[in-house]
Amino acid sequence: MNTPVRTARARTSRLRRISGTASVHAVLLGYTLIAVFPVFLVMMNSFKDRRGIFGEPLSLPHAGTFSLEGYATVLSEGSFATYFGNSLIVTVASLFLILFLGAAAAHALAEYRFRFNALLKIYMIVGIMVPIRLGTVAILKLMVDLNLVNTLLALILVYTAQGLPVAVFILTEFMRTLSRDIKDCARIDGLSEYRIFLEVVLPLIRPVLATVAVFSMIPIWNDLWFPLILASSDATKTVTLGVQQFIGQFTVNWGAVLAALSIAILPVLGLYALFSRQLIAGITSGAVKG
């Protein structure tokens, strides 16, 4: 019997594997730094005084430079509590409508055979390709006619219309994969079609609803266009618009600008920390493979 030996061939291929792994990490780590550093830089400097911001922008705040004066200015000058409240109301209400109405429509499209089913589905999802902003001129006219300008309801309705196509598309695709048996079983158990939707289908699609929620939430929370056009009054400003206008006024007060940016970033990062697993699982589950 020959004793197996580690040949030169085996050694080089092992070396190649290790250096390959190292370069993969070098690229990924390098780009991760590029992606995160600017955000980190802003948040770090928001805790410094003016001298610290300009004198040593790249070092962490320390006793000599630490200051919350930026945050003090933001809290006294801007009505960020109101803006947050507005953003929260608009985002939550829109999300609820998108998910609930979208799921109901998707359920009807996936579950029942009726005339124009296919046509209606195309009608609903064509909105994915056509950005709602192109209708802004008429949306503003419509809101003026409906007396909804400078109300949060205007934003909620527009964002719902904007979010429905993607929601209907993803949910219909997913609902088609649901077992027909379980709905039939509920029918035999005597549930009405409404209760089948509420008590059987909705619990089954919860994970996908979460994905659609995170997806739809980002553009709503971050939007500048519609708040600027439909609801720019002080009482209805959202965070994004509020930050934009606040910074416009306080361009010379860097501490305040950095603090305002950080205040706008933090909740998003917090939510992301909570839901990133769901968001990424949703994206990678093929729900958006088109």
Using CB under 8 A as the criterion, what x/- string covers residues 196-235 for binding other proteins? Answer: -x--x--xx-------------x--xxxxx---x------
For residue 188, give Cα distances in angstroms to 45, 78, 175, 197: 63, 59, 20, 15
- Residue ranges of alpha helices (H) inside the chain are 8-45, 50-55, 69-77, 80-111, 117-125, 136-145, 152-176, 180-188, 193-195, 202-204, 206-222, 225-230, 239-249, 254-282
Cα distance between residue 159 and residue 90, in whole Å: 9
# residues near other proteins by CB under 8 A: 102
Rounded to whole angstroms, the Cα distance separating 161 from 83 reads 22
DSSP letter at 113 equals: -
Nearer to other proteins, 88 or 200 (CB): 200
Footprint of other proteins on 31-50 (CB under 8 A): 31-32, 34-36, 38-39, 41-42
According to the binding rule CB under 8 A, does residue 141 interact with other proteins? yes
Interface residue with other proteins among 44, 74, 93, 157 (CB under 8 A) is 157
Comparing CB distances to other proteins, the nearer of 79 and 245 is 245
* Residue 254 C-beta: closest distance to other proteins, Å: 8
Instruction: Indicate the SS3 state at residue 247.
Output: helix
User: Residue 4 or residue 290: which is nearer to other proteins going by CB?
Assistant: 290
Task: Give the DSSP letter of residue 251.
Answer: T
Could you say which of 90, 95, 158, 231 contacts other proteins (CB under 8 A)? 158
- Check: CB of residue 36 under 8 Å from CB of residue 16: no
Listed ranges 1-9, 65-73, 74-82, 105-113: which one lies at the site for other proteins (CB under 8 A): 105-113
* 14 binds other proteins, rule: CB under 8 A: no
Binding-site member from 89, 161, 198, 210 for other proteins (CB under 8 A): 161
